[in-house]
């Protein structure tokens, strides 16, 4: 069961809680807005659902409520940002704005961060440059290691996601938002809830054998897409988003889900690509739409209901949720309202949807 | 059976043939050197093996022997290069040099091309910035469509590869060089030669069923890594390397293997990342080595002989082949020597190894 709330209501609610927890009002509104953007895109496990965990780490000192986010290094098209252990959402918004600004002058803006934190849904940040007629690209070091290097058994890598967004005319933007593992942890948890068995390519156990019982997921490792290829992508994304920015990678990555008070030193980067520097903007956006039609209109494989462009589902969920509201499971509402009461914010259940 | 030749001998030979086919001497040497680099890295299907096909297209007018490669658009960190239908090797070398130059000033250099051609092994170009203490990234639209969009049956996408190279101190560089399909065509051909059956996840047939007989590969489609994820990567790489640069993508991609005289309008791009703009160079290179040790020294999964860093095999093959020479299969030597005789170049068999 779920209750439906408007995006605005959820944003105001999250902002009020964050502010009650010591986050300055403007920052709280920014973080809440980006959090609810994840819910709008259907990434329910990356949005409001995370608020209790964010606040736990905030209270335990694992995250800084009043960071001094600033440029640490810069040179023309690039910058490295010190997130001062603030919310990842805030740090990545800073980076995205900075990347857009640099792309306007240099054609490309590439802005990375160290001492950032979990920022929610990757796609949200890749979408920011679109409003400026730019392509957005976002890569992050995941907030817990769940994958071994190919041929190994130690969890030294995360699902390290990539998101890329490109604008189109007369069609939804293209929005790829993917982890480098076959299945995300959310899908594993869902299988557990439903009492289902996992396909043998999702996880291996501590001995390296396929793990198909999702109730045993905690002792398992996620498998990369394409074997050594997904391992290679996760590694490279980690080196570029983490190591290059002076952020944590490999054994230095803490488990954000169980560790309350360690500084995560999360690394991410955003690239903004100014389309008009490369080609005619209108032509490009029309081409993306034409290619979208070409792909989705091509011959269908038996057993499939449609060919989709990346992000097609998420962006139509967004339209629907903007129009009709966001369903929040009762258990999540209850947990959020417990938090609200504890910090003196009017609970969701008592307010208007 | 194979005969072994030094890299220098093969480079001189390929350069002589290219020059005999109308390519100016300096350009011929550059192309030959980059071609043999692919052989050194063990990418035997992307090196000298391709020379006969390159020359066929050169003679039929599909490729321009004397291109005027020039910058078409530019803005600070980026440029779009018009390859004037020259050899992809030459165009990509131009782009790599340009990307390095721009990264020196702007921290990042992002240089794409249209009207380029097949350039051989992706890793070769990602490695160019390393000599300048930069990270290299290369993405290409593949030279023939072998993959359908996820859920489809029409070959609208190629294996669109990505290659990324990062320098290390006291360790080989990290070199990821991968296609977005589960298996490359070369592996399919090898299975056919050996009379083996392919795993069911490599290809599907025209009806969408798994195709396991490699002799029927021509009627099949390669499958992407991670299903919709690999489709998404191939699509995004194609849009960034092709569409953004004004190069061919989707139905506009010709089949380079069967089409002699059409202009391919191949698109690729190279990014150079100036490490010292981000962090201390020595520290970074030491970190890459430390992480390499961390990964490869971690617990081994039963059934695996080692954990490797991406590119470890290719770069050790390179060392070995630089020291002991490159084995060229007899059938390839025979074909190359037929070409040599036809254009008045001393054949490999008669020269010194």
Tell me the average pLDDT across B82-90: 98
Contact A114, A72 (CB under 8 A): yes
Q: What does the pLDDT read at residue B298? A: 98
Contact A223, A180 (CB under 8 A): no
pLDDT level of residue B190 (50, 70, 90 thresholds): confident
Q: What does the pLDDT read at residue B1? A: 86
Query: Which burial class, exposed, middle or buried, applies to A276 when counting CB atoms under 10 A from its CB (0-12, 13-18, 19+)?
Result: middle
Q: What does the pLDDT read at residue B262? A: 95
Tell me the average pLDDT across A177-184: 93
- Does the pLDDT of residue A353 top 60, yes or no? no
Q: What does the pLDDT read at residue B352? A: 52
Q: Could you report the per-residue pLDDT of B103-143, keeping only the tens digit for each?
A: 999 999 999 999 999 999 999 999 999 999 999 999 999 99
Helix (H) or strand (E) segment spanning residue B30: helix B25-40
Q: What does the pLDDT read at residue B252? A: 97
Question: How far apart are alpha carbons B149 and B170 in whole angstroms?
Answer: 42
Contact A306 B151 (CB under 8 A): yes
DSSP state of B248: -
Residue B31 φ then ψ, to 5°: -60, -45
- Does the pLDDT of residue A351 top 70, yes or no? no
Contacts of A308 in chain B (CB under 8 A): 150-151, 228
Tell me the average pLDDT across B243-256: 96
Mean pLDDT of the residues in chain B: 96
Contact B77 A243 (CB under 8 A): no
Measured CA distances, A35 to A29, A40, A131, A296, B350 (Å):
10, 9, 18, 30, 70
Neighbours of A316 (CB within 10 A): 13
Question: How far apart are alpha carbons B77 and B277 in whole angstroms?
Answer: 14
Please tell me which of the candidates B232, B273, B287 has its beta carbon nearest to residue A176: B232
Q: What does the pLDDT read at residue A189? A: 80
- Domains of chain A are 1-60+312-353 (1.10.1530.10), 68-181+227-310 (3.30.1370.60), 182-223 (3.30.60.50)
For A317, residues 6+ apart whose C-beta sits below 8 A from its C-beta are: A40, A41, A42
- Confirm or reject contact between B228 and chain A (CB < 8 A): yes
pLDDT level of residue A352 (50, 70, 90 thresholds): low
Contact B141, B238 (CB under 8 A): yes
Please tell me which of the candidates B245, B273, B302 has its beta carbon nearest to residue A207: B302
**What residues of chain A, 174 to 193, have a C-beta less than 8 Å from chain B?**
174, 176, 178-179, 182
Contact A178, B229 (CB under 8 A): yes
- Confirm or reject contact between B307 and chain A (CB < 8 A): yes
- Does the pLDDT of residue B189 top 90, yes or no? no
Tell me the average pLDDT across A51-76: 96
Q: Would the ipTM clear 0.85, i.e. be above it? A: yes
Q: What does the pLDDT read at residue B347? A: 96
Tell me the average pLDDT across B42-57: 91
- Does the pLDDT of residue A106 top 70, yes or no? yes
pTM over 0.95: yes
């Amino acid at each position: 069961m779920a209750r439906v709330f408007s995006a605005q209501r959820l944003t105001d609610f999250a902002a009020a809680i964050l502010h009650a927890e010591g986050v300055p009002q403007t920052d709280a509104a920014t973080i809440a807005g980006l959090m609810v953007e994840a819910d709008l895109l259907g990434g329910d496990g990356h949005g409001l659902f995370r608020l209790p965990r964010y606040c736990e780490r905030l209270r335990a000192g694992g995250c800084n409520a009043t960071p001094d986010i600033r440029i640490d290094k810069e040179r023309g098209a690039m910058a490295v940002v010190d997130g001062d252990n603030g919310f990842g959402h805030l740090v990545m918004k800073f980076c995205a704005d900075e990347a857009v600004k640099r792309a306007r002058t240099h054609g490309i803006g590439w802005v990375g961060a160290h001492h950032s934190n979990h920022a929610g849904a990757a796609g949200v940040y890749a979408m920011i440059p679109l409003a400026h007629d730019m392509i957005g690209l976002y890569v992050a070091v995941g907030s817990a290691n769940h994958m071994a290097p190919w041929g190994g058994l130690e969890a030294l890598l995360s699902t390290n996601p990539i998101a890329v967004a490109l604008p189109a005319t007369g069609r939804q933007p293209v929005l790829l938002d993917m982890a480098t593992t076959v299945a995300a942890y959310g899908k594993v948890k869902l299988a557990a809830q439903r009492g289902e068995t996992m396909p043998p390519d999702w996880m291996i156990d501590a001995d390296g054998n396929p793990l198909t019982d999702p109730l045993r997921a905690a002792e398992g490792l996620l498998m990369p897409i394409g074997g050594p290829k997904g391992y290679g992508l996760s590694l490279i994304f980690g080196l570029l988003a983490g190591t290059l920015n002076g952020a944590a990678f490999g054994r230095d990555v803490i488990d954000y889900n169980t560790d309350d008070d360690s500084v995560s030193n999360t690394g991410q980067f955003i690239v903004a690509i100014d389309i008009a520097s490369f080609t005619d903007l209108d032509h490009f956006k029309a081409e993306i739409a034409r290619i979208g039609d070409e792909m989705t209109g091509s011959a269908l494989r038996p057993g499939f209901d449609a060919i989709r462009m990346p992000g097609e589902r998420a962006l139509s969920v967004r339209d629907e949720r903007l129009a009709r509201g966001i369903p929040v499971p009762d258990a999540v509402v209850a947990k959020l309202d417990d938090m609200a009461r504890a910090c003196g914010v009017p609970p969701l259940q008592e307010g208007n949807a």
